[in-house]
Amino acid sequence: MSTPLTAGLIVIGNEVLSGRTQDANIRFLAQGLGALGLPLREVRIIPDVAPTIIATVNEMRASHAHVFTTGGIGPTHDDITSECIAAAFGVPWEPHPEAMRMLGAHYSEGAFNTARRRMATMPRGATLIENDVSPAPGFTIGNVHVMAGVPRIMQSMFRTLAPRLPRGQPVVSSSVHAMPMLEGAIAEGLGTIQADFPMLDLGSYPFERDGRYGVTLVAKGVDTAAVAAAIARVRGLIISAGFTPIDGEPTEGRS
């Protein structure tokens, strides 16, 4: 058994809290981290407020093996993530030589203005996270990985970062669904199956499709044989309740 590894994510941005923007990064990172065996266990969405960012980073980096942040690393006045990370770690926030070189090479002399130089200003000791979309890199310091909020840039940064991250035991999952069916029809039997497979997470997710209701049951864990055995039990439970089990998730399902 490898040491359990968990990840935390901090989404920094007033625009998500105001409902202006639909977050598109949480699910991408949840799936990407799960595939590495570094499961996401907590997400916090916080505003562009320095004391909040600093306190949240310090709390999260103490409680998770790895912490990821998205947002707030551009050139404008509301992009304060980088200087807050420096404050959280108690290190100077200063020009990063390699980032200065990269940005300097991208912009013409006049265009590499004060605001853009801020994007090359980082906590001392930061390691760059390059991306192939924008010239401005993210960075890693300690166990904190600081990425852009724009999804395409963030995704490119995560692809750069992934090979540098430790890998845990990948979680495997298997699922079955039935529609029509309500959770209450199988809830007691499911509880029994969960009790028989304490090493797994057995999730029950109701969904609605065109006014009809169904339920998806998902077994997750690192023990592939146990996952298969639990799902076989769930299939039997659905049949005994008088419904028809269908392998996998419903198409376009959401709970």
Residues 88-147 interacting with its own copies (rule: CB under 8 A)? 107, 111, 113-116, 118-119
CB of 123 to its own copies, least distance (A): 20
Work out which of 55, 78, 209, 246 binds its own copies, going by CB under 8 A. 78
CB of 125 to its own copies, least distance (A): 25
**Cβ closer to its own copies: 40 or 141?**
40
Phi, psi torsion values for 235, nearest 5 degrees? -60, -45
Of 93, 82, 103, whose CA–CA distance to 146 is shortest?
A: 82
Beta strand pairing call for 201-209 and 212-221:
antiparallel
- Please, which residues bridge with residue 209 across strands? 212
CA dihedral (92, 132, 171, 237) positive or negative: positive
**Cβ closer to its own copies: 94 or 208?**
208
**Alpha-carbon distances of 98 from 119, 194, 227, rounded to whole Å:** 12, 52, 47
Contacts with its own copies: how many residues (CB under 8 A)?
72
**Maximal CA-CA distance, the chain:** 73
Work out which of 58, 127, 160, 205 binds its own copies, going by CB under 8 A. 205
Strands (E), 2-136: 7-12, 40-46, 66-70, 93-95, 121-123, 127-129
Contact stretch for its own copies (CB under 8 A) within 21-29, 137-145, 160-168, 223-231: 21-29
Of 50-69, binders to its own copies (CB under 8 A) are none
CB of 135 to its own copies, least distance (A): 10
Of 212-231, binders to its own copies (CB under 8 A) are 218, 220
18 binds its own copies, rule: CB under 8 A: yes
Of 208, 66, 201, whose CA–CA distance to 146 is shortest?
A: 66
Of 163-202, binders to its own copies (CB under 8 A) are 171, 173, 183-185, 187-188, 190-191, 194-195, 201-202
**Cβ closer to its own copies: 12 or 129?**
12
Round to whole Å and give the CA distance between 143 and 125. 12
Work out which of 37, 104, 203, 250 binds its own copies, going by CB under 8 A. 203
